């Protein structure tokens, strides 16, 4: 029996193609989201045009317990612990609006990673995680991750002289920011002459010196609530800092956590591809007369590629679930065993999803070449997958080729980027 209460053989009961959840908890979450799909789809076009975050939908998510979906049941959440089930939930929502799914992913991801800290972290990390998870379960806490520094900026944590810390810097591409109540900020810490360390301080939205900047005018994912966050000597309590590794530690154990925090996004792009297929097939089916051979060929090829996409993503998620539950072996080997299939799947999903959406535009015809057509929105949203860490396409090529060829490199993208230009020498 696994930690989420599902039988270990659950995956063998159906094909792992992201068709349905495999646990009771996953089915509860899927049922809750099903009640929002029609509304989210109806609002998606207008929100995309305006770049407007769907506040009312997320208010409903808070009230109905969706925002606590990945919080353990012991702490008041729904207790969805299977990465596979989280990806299925995101796929369902992404078929209606990928922007909303990306924003929800942020909260789900924090629930998954904080659950790990609650179960396996240091005493201070467990206390911090439990406090936040309980608030997430009630919908009070909306927790964002702030990873990427703005160009030319290094976000740093320095001692305040009285046992606490001060955070300064600026982060970009922080999704879910309009309603975020807490931000986990990836930063460098330089103190006492020691080598630079990687840390993740927690900063409340109402902290002095924190500003959420309305800077987003993205090509796609326009309703995801993505923004820049600026920090000007924000105070951080001593107990509100999660320790990570030293810069350039070259410890592949970190790849396990990075996989858990990001792999469920595969469900979003599976949802985009499915939505495009359904729109295009519907257009083709409604045309009078028998469809031309070229149309039938594109439809058949689209379905075959969509199945390959979903099966590939599903296999990687099953693999991640199995390895995530097994902490008995070498941590570095475990990290690679989770990250490598994830990256193979990510590259495959990104390539297939983009091709599917492009062919669906062809199937739908010139009417789809209009900014307000749903396929136009999907064609922009699907490209976001190529820029998401871990890894972007370039970094993913470096990782996979390094694994295949036995090349020595720092696989922790946060550490790699902290080194700056020296990392590529």
Q: Which of 74, 59, 60, 147 is nearest to 106 (CA)?
A: 147
Q: What are the tokens at 134?
A: 């309980």
d(CA 156, CA 389): 20
Distance of CA 11 to the CA centre of its chain: 22
d(CA 340, CA 337): 6
pLDDT of amino acid 10: 61
d(CA 172, CA 145): 10
Distance of CA 222 to the CA centre of its chain: 16
d(CA 381, CA 394): 19
- Residue 201 pairs in a beta bridge with 241
Q: Name the strand (E) or helix (H) holding 170.
A: strand 165-174
Phi, psi of 203 (to 5 degrees): -125, 130
**How do the pLDDT tens digits run along the chain, 425 residues long?**
344 544 455 655 567 899 999 999 999 999 999 999 999 999 999 999 999 999 999 999 999 999 999 999 999 999 999 999 999 999 999 999 999 999 999 999 999 999 999 999 999 999 999 999 999 999 999 999 999 999 999 999 999 999 999 999 999 999 999 999 999 999 999 766 677 889 999 999 999 999 999 889 999 999 999 999 999 999 999 999 999 988 888 899 999 999 999 999 999 999 999 999 999 999 999 999 999 999 999 999 999 999 999 999 999 999 999 999 999 999 999 999 999 999 999 999 999 999 999 999 999 999 999 999 999 999 999 999 999 999 999 999 999 999 999 999 999 988 887 766 544 44
pLDDT of amino acid 421: 52
Phi, psi of 342 (to 5 degrees): -60, -45
pLDDT of amino acid 15: 73
pLDDT of amino acid 6: 44
Q: What are the tokens at 288?
A: 């009078």
**Residue for token pair 């009078």:** 288
Dihedral angle sign, alpha carbons of residues 188, 192, 195, 200: negative
Q: What are the tokens at 170?
A: 């600026």
Q: Name the strand (E) or helix (H) holding 112.
A: helix 98-120
Dihedral angle sign, alpha carbons of residues 417, 419, 423, 425: positive
Q: Assign 120 to helix, strand or coil.
A: helix
Q: Which long-range contacts (CB under 8 A, 24 or more apart) does 155-161 make?
A: 155/185, 155/186, 155/187, 155/188, 155/231, 156/187, 156/188, 156/189, 156/190, 157/187, 157/188, 157/189, 157/199, 157/201, 157/236, 157/241, 158/189, 158/190, 158/191, 159/191, 160/235
Q: What is the DSSP string of 35-55?
A: HHHHHHHHHHHHHHHHT---H
In contact, 340 and 404? CB cutoff 8 Å = no
d(CA 402, CA 422): 18
């Amino acid at each position: 029996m696994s930690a989420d209460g599902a039988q270990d053989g659950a995956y063998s009961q159906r094909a792992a193609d992201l068709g349905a959840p495999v646990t009771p908890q996953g089915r509860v979450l899927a049922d809750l989201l099903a009640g929002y799909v029609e509304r989210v789809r109806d609002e998606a076009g207008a929100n995309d045009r305006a770049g407007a975050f769907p506040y009312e939908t997320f208010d409903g998510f808070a009230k109905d317990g969706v925002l606590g979906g990945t919080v353990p049941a012991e702490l008041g959440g729904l207790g969805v612990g299977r990465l596979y089930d989280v990806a299925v939930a995101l796929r369902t929502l992404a078929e209606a609006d990928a922007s909303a799914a990306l924003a929800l992913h942020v909260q789900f991801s924090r629930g998954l990673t904080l659950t790990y800290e609650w179960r396996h972290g240091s005493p201070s990390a467990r206390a911090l995680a439990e406090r936040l998870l309980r608030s997430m379960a009630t919908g009070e806490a909306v927790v964002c991750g702030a990873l990427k520094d703005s160009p030319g900026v290094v976000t740093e944590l320095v001692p305040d002289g009285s046992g606490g810390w001060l955070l300064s810097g600026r982060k970009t591409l922080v999704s879910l920011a309009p309603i975020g109540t807490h931000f986990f900020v990836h930063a460098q810490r330089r103190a006492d002459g020691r080598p630079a360390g990687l840390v993740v301080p927690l900063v409340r939205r109402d902290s002095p010196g924190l500003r959420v900047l309305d800077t987003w005018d993205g090509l796609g994912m326009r309703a995801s609530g993505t923004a820049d966050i600026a920090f000007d000597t924000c105070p951080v309590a001593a107990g509100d800092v999660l320790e990570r590794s030293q810069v350039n530690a070259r410890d592949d154990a970190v790849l396990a956590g990075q996989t858990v925090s990001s792999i469920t996004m595969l469900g979003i792009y599976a949802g985009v591809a499915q939505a495009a297929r359904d729109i295009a097939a519907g257009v083709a089916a409604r045309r009078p007369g028998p469809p031309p051979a070229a149309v039938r060929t594109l439809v058949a090829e689209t379905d075959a590629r969509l199945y390959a996409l979903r099966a590939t993503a599903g296999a990687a998620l099953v693999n991640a679930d199995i390895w995530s539950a097994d902490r008995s072996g070498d941590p570095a080997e475990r990290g690679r065993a989770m990250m490598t299939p994830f990256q193979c799947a990510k590259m495959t999903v990104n390539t297939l999803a983009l091709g599917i959406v492009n062919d669906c535009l062809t199937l739908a015809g010139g009417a789809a070449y209009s900014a307000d057509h749903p396929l136009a929105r999907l064609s922009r949203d699907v490209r976001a997958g190529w820029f998401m860490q871990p890894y972007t396409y370039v970094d993913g090529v470096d990782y996979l080729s390094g694994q295949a060829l036995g090349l020595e490199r720092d696989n922790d993208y946060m550490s790699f980027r902290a080194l700056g230009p020296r990392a590529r020498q």
